[in-house]
Amino acid sequence: MTKEEINGVPVAQAKEIKTKLGILLQKPDSAVDLVIPYSEKPEKPAKTQKPPLDEALQWRDSLDKILQNNYGLASFKSFLKSEFSEENLEFWLACEDYKKIKSPAKMAEKAKKIYEEFIQTEAPKEVNIDHFTKDITTKNLVEPSPSSFDVAQKRIYALMEKDSLPRFVRSEFYQELIK
C-alpha cells in the first residue's frame, strides 16, 4: 500500500466514495425529512390455511420452503418474535423488497433506510454480520443497485438456516403444526 492509497483504494477514489457515502448517510435536516413513507404494509395474520402435514414436515430441512409459504413464514416470524430475534428475517425480507425496486431514487431511499435500520453500528435492528461483509455492503451503497445487499443477505440467510431454523423446528410453534 502506498501513500496514495487508503486501505488499498486510490486516494481520489476513496474521497469520491467518502463524499457519496456522506450524501447517502447524512442525517435529516428537519423533522419533515424523518417522515419517509414506509411502503411495507402493516403485518396481518396469514390468511392461508394450515399446510398439509407432508409440506410442514419439509420445513425441517429447508428454510426456502418456509420462506416461500405464507403460513410457514408467519409461523417462523412469530417464533423469532417470541425469542426477540426477528431482525434477521426482517432484514432478509427488506432485501427481497429492495430488489424489486426499479426507480434509482426510490432504490437509494430504501437502501439508506435498510442501512440505518439493520447495518450501521448501533442500528435499531442491527444484524450480526462481520466487518468484511459490512464494509462490502457499505461500499456497494455508494451507487445502489439491486445487488447492493446480496453479500449481507446471503450471510444472514446462512445464519438463519444454521441457527434459527433448528431452534424453530424444536419449538412449540413447529411441533403444534406437525401434530
End-to-end C-alpha distance for the chain, whole angstroms = 61
> In the chain, at which residue ranges do the beta strands (DSSP E only) sit?
5-6, 9-10
Model pLDDT, residue 34: 35
CA dist 154 and 85 (Å) reads 17
Q: Is residue 18 part of a domain?
A: no
Output DSSP code: residue 103.
-
Mean of the per-residue pLDDT values of the chain: 82
Model pLDDT, residue 179: 86
This prediction has a pTM of 0.72
CA dist 41 and 10 (Å) reads 43
Picking from 147, 118, 146, the residue whose alpha carbon sits closest to that of residue 134 is 118
Q: Is residue 13 part of a domain?
A: no
Question: Is 151 exposed, middle or buried, given 0-12, 13-18 or 19+ CB atoms closer than 10 A?
Answer: middle
- Taking only the tens place, the pLDDT of each residue in 82-91 is 999 999 999 9
Q: Is residue 8 part of a domain?
A: no
What Å distances lie between residue 80 and 26, 61, 169, CA to CA?
32, 17, 12
Q: Is residue 1 part of a domain?
A: no
Query: Residue 163's domain is classified under what CATH number?
Result: 1.10.167.10
Q: Is residue 23 part of a domain?
A: no
Q: What share of the chain is helix, strand, coil (3-state, %, to 5)?
A: 65, 0, 35
CA dist 113 and 148 (Å) reads 13
Q: What angle do CA 58, 59, 64 make, to 5 degrees?
A: 110
How many domains does one find in the chain? Answer: 1
CA dist 173 and 58 (Å) reads 15
Q: At what angle do helices 87-99 and 104-114 cross, to 10 degrees?
A: 170
Q: Is residue 146 part of a domain?
A: yes
Q: Is residue 85 part of a domain?
A: yes
- Taking only the tens place, the pLDDT of each residue in 45-77 is 445 688 999 999 999 999 999 999 999 999 999
Q: Is residue 119 part of a domain?
A: yes
Q: Which domain holds residue 172?
A: 53-176
149 or 173: whose pLDDT is higher? Answer: 149
**In the chain, what percentage of residues exceed pLDDT 70?**
73
Model pLDDT, residue 49: 81
